[in-house]
Structure 1
């Protein structure tokens, strides 16, 4: 038979209903879904290969038993199986996710759909029940949630340590150096001129060191990032540091579907902070542009400068570790990080981190 003849043959059969035998073979052969029927009282009257694979019962084991055997004891005691049938009758169907029990007593997480079946006279003939084993998906979701919990804990621990170091530097080292500077200034007024000039130079060096330490404490724990959110935190940092302190021009473009969690916001802020520091120290740039947008269930961020475009880590010095830190922060958060540049065209740092919404509580039903 030619291809055209076969196509014409099937076209003629297109409106012919699928035979009952063929439909039964289709349902019986499905392995990924447990498909079976209940009588109006909830007793099992049909059973397919998928139901046997998922629940562990052969047809001879289970036919004639009440479907409540698949429910944990606590659900049986609460009357949940009967409630589900009543809901399916009232609403036409019911969909549920919860624990179910296999023949060997082990539990699995299932998605269940129960559909009420009526004849042409409106008399209830029973129920169609479709069950899918969702255990692997649920385990993957729990693993992702656990990873997220550990990530949040890590970020919080890092920020707590940074805050402690910043306070120690401010309350101890800086205060001690301020006292040294005051004494040098007083001493310079009391000694001969030949010594006072050297003392004033020492005082200047101490003041410059104090300024560097204050800058360090600010970088360790910028005020507001953990209280006011990502956009306000970045805006303040750009105003106070990039614009006022460094004298660079900048733009900040942001389109966020929702405010990220504090841990995600801190992660993005820290990576941008490190990228901007590298621009200031090594790029010889006059303009930097920051873009923050919601993309693919997360947040993509770009830091683009108009500098020399020289690789930041080419000499193996501090900026090399800054690059490593940026990449590790993004990847630890479950995202990615990249940097690309060409001499004379500036450098782009781009990264994406997930921004999951609040995790829904598991239904124990």
Structure 2
């Protein structure tokens, strides 16, 4: 029986050349990617507008030349272009990031994908090569890395200065006040009776001053902050200060995917420390809750009290030193900070800081990152 005619067959035959032409136009018109083909030996046989924009060669300049012309001299000497073709043949494709060279001799950082192309008989016909200029992204990554390095140095310098001040206060000011207190005790039995009460008040003032100085040294450099991680450090602070000293109930919830760098941990600790101090001094709260969780590549923290709240907007607190310090710490770390407060509903301090991996050593300007021969 003769099969029925397919009315769409002729339409598909006509559409095929049109689809191929449209695809060719698409490839030729792409500007963000250099897309071109190599023959089996690595000589360039096609060239699109994106390749011309990225590399600076016109099709007339480059077709027929070997693609190794795009590689720096050190890579050419090491045989990297040929090695990449061999790897693409063996694995089907190769992806690499590294330095490439434009027509004018300038270098740019490129992401490169080489794909081996085979016919239906398994014979290698050549390679498809896609190149993307990643110079701007790499420059942004280096700028971010440098900013992070400067931030780390700043935090370390601040902590070193805090430690020095804490030691100075402990070894000088506190010891001097203790000596004054001891002399007052010696005088207690020698002064006339009418001066006893005044001497007792003076002794009490000295003891109170010593207590305040000791509290200051603790805030400047809490014991163990350098050795403990963020969670243990905050837990100890909440136990020792909020619960034991202030006798305030608290909760501490945390869900972090990894321990932050020491500089990030110190930044979070200091902001929480200042927020808790504000609760103690101003909120007239009966409890405080602290929450820390991983979010959006960083750590988001909430410090929530049940105090009276403040009848003022966040903008009106901009001249408050503690608020300025918290905000500046968060923003210097590349994050954000906010405070929400309404009379009778308590106050919430909320902030987020990025939680980057430890800063790697910078790569050599002339080196390659990624695949190397």
TM over 0.5, yes or no? yes
CA gap of 1:248–1:15, structure 2 versus 1, over 3 A, is farther
The corresponding residue for 2:300 is 300
1:92 and 2:92 equivalent? Answer: yes
SS of residue in 2 equivalent to 1:253: strand
Distance in 2 separating the partners of 1:48 and 1:227:
57
User: CA offsets per residue over residues 258-307 of structure 1, 9 Å max, x none?
Assistant: 00001111111111111100000000001100000000000000000000
Structure 1 residue 197 displacement after superposition: 3.0
User: C-alpha separation between the residues in 1 aligned to 2:177 and 2:281?
Assistant: 26
Tell me how far 1:20 sits from its aligned partner: 3.0
Unaligned segments of structure 1, at least 5 residues: 1-8
Q: Aligned-pair RMSD on alpha carbons? A: 2.1
User: Residue 129 of structure 1: CA displacement?
Assistant: 0.3
2:227 match: secondary structure:
helix
Aligned counterpart, 2:165: 165
Match of 2:214 in 1: 214
Aligned position for 2:185: 185
In structure 2, the partner of 1:37 is 37
- Paired with 2:76 and 2:96, the residues of 1 have a C-alpha distance of 15
Q: Deviations over 1:164-192 (max 9, x none)?
A: 00000000000011011001101112233
Q: How far apart are residue 358 of structure 1 and its match?
A: 3.3
What secondary structure is seen at the aligned counterpart in 1 of 2:109?
A: strand
Aligned-pair distance for 1:352?
Answer: 0.4
Q: Is the 8 A contact 1:38 1:44 kept in 2?
A: yes
Tell me, in whole angstroms, the C-alpha distance in 2 between the residues paired with 1:261 and 1:49: 45
Change (3 A) 1:206 1:115: same
Rounded Cα–Cα distance in structure 1 between residues aligned with 2:182 and 2:12: 100
Task: Provide Cα deviations, 1:109-152, integer angstroms capped at 9, x if missing partner.
Answer: 00000000111111111111000000111111111111111111
Q: Is residue 188–residue 197 contact of structure 1 (8 Å, CA) maintained in 2?
A: no
**Partners of 1:88 and 1:60 in 2: CA distance:** 27
The 8 Å contact of residues 37 and 126 in structure 2, kept in 1 or not, is answered as yes
Structure 2 residue runs of 5 or longer lacking an equivalent are 1-7, 369-373
Q: Which residue of 2 aligns with 1:349?
A: 349
Indicate the residue corresponding to 1:80 in structure 2. 80
Q: How many residues align?
A: 354
CA distance in 2, matches of 1:269, 1:210: 25
Once the two structures are overlaid, the 10-residue window that deviates more, 113-122 or 316-325, is: 316-325
Contact 1:187 1:196 in 2 (8 A): no
CA drift of 1:23 comes to 2.1
Which position in structure 1 is the counterpart of 2:340?
Answer: 340
CA contact (8 A) 2:149 2:359 kept: no
Q: 1:36·1:48 contact (CA, 8 Å) conserved in 2?
A: yes
TM (norm. structure 2) is 0.91
Map of 2:256 onto structure 1: 256
Distance 2:161 2:297 in 1: 30
Structure scoring higher RCO (CA < 8 A, sep ≥ 6) equals 2
Shift in alpha-carbon separation, 1:21–1:305, aligned structure 2, 3 A: same
Contact 2:261 2:358 survives alignment (8 Å): no
Q: Name the structure 2 match of 1:24.
A: 24
Q: Secondary structure at the match of 1:227?
A: coil
Q: Does the CA-based 8 Å contact 1:301-1:350 persist in structure 2?
A: yes
Matched with 1:57 is 57
Report the Cα distance in structure 1 between the residues aligned to 2:311 and 2:357, rounded to whole angstroms: 36
In structure 1, how many angstroms separate the alpha carbons of the residues matched to 2:187 and 2:50?
91
